[in-house]
Amino acid sequence: MGTSGKISVKSIPSGYSESDLVWKSSDPSKITVDSNGNVQAVSAGNASIVVSTKDGKNTVSCAVIAKANVALSENGKTVDSEDLMAA
């Protein structure tokens, strides 16, 4: 799939910095996340992205959905679903 994006934290609890955050995906076979909140779709499906402080005292999550690209055919011409979304 390869589609990617970034999730950002609007506010970090007092006494913590970005280096104190730990990012996790509930299903890395669908969506991966790195230590900076960059997410990437691996396969179609959904996952919760959880960010917490290293000590576990603060946690927040959000849902991410990855949709499969589908090749459609119209009058013998193949059209990629990404082209349809961009139009």
pLDDT value at residue 80? 54
| Domains and their CATH numbers in the chain | 4-86 (2.60.40.1080)
CA 66 centroid distance within chain: 8
Residue whose entry in the numeric block shows the structure tokens 């082209």: 83
Q: What is the mean pLDDT of each run of 10 residues along the chain (87 residues)?
A: 82 90 96 93 92 94 83 58 43
pLDDT value at residue 9? 87
pLDDT value at residue 76? 61
pLDDT value at residue 25? 97
pLDDT value at residue 68? 76
Task: Give ∠ CA 54-27-5 in degrees, rounded to 5.
Answer: 80
- Supply the DSSP string of 9-78, one letter for each residue: -S---TT--GGGEEEEES-TTTEEE-TTSEEEE-SSEEEEEEEEETTSS-EEEEEEEEPPP-EEEETTEE
